Amino acid sequence: MDHGNNYLHLTAANTTVNAKSGPGTLHTFSVNEVGTAFVTVYDGLNGTGAVIANIDPSTKDTHIYDAAFTVGLSVVVGAGAGTLDATVTYR
């Protein structure tokens, strides 16, 4: 039975989050509210590895990737003057 995607809600600048260890698929990255903290998504852990995406949160938008990762899914939110409100969906 398919239970859908997992999600990660990001609201803090200057943070690194390991969303998943092991292989999976990055489905979407949604900027819910405009912010200034740029985001880098990695196929890896602890903010290292191959870059899947660099995201500029200056515009509300949903980016569809459906990109496979092998090591894990790590999201790094850079420092910014404003807040970030974004959601990542993955399997």
- One of 2.60.120.340, 3.40.50.150, 3.30.450.40, 2.40.30.20 is the CATH number of 6-90, namely 2.60.120.340
Q: For residue 12, what pLDDT is reported?
A: 85
- Give residues with Cβ within 8 angstroms of 3, minimum separation 6: none
Please state the domain extents for the chain: 6-90
Q: For residue 3, what pLDDT is reported?
A: 79
Q: For residue 78, what pLDDT is reported?
A: 87
Q: For residue 82, what pLDDT is reported?
A: 64
CA atoms within 13 A on the CB side of 47: 9
Per-residue pLDDT 10s for the chain (91 aa) are 567 999 999 998 888 999 999 999 999 999 999 988 899 999 999 999 999 999 999 999 999 999 999 999 999 998 765 678 999 999 9
Single pTM value for the model: 0.91
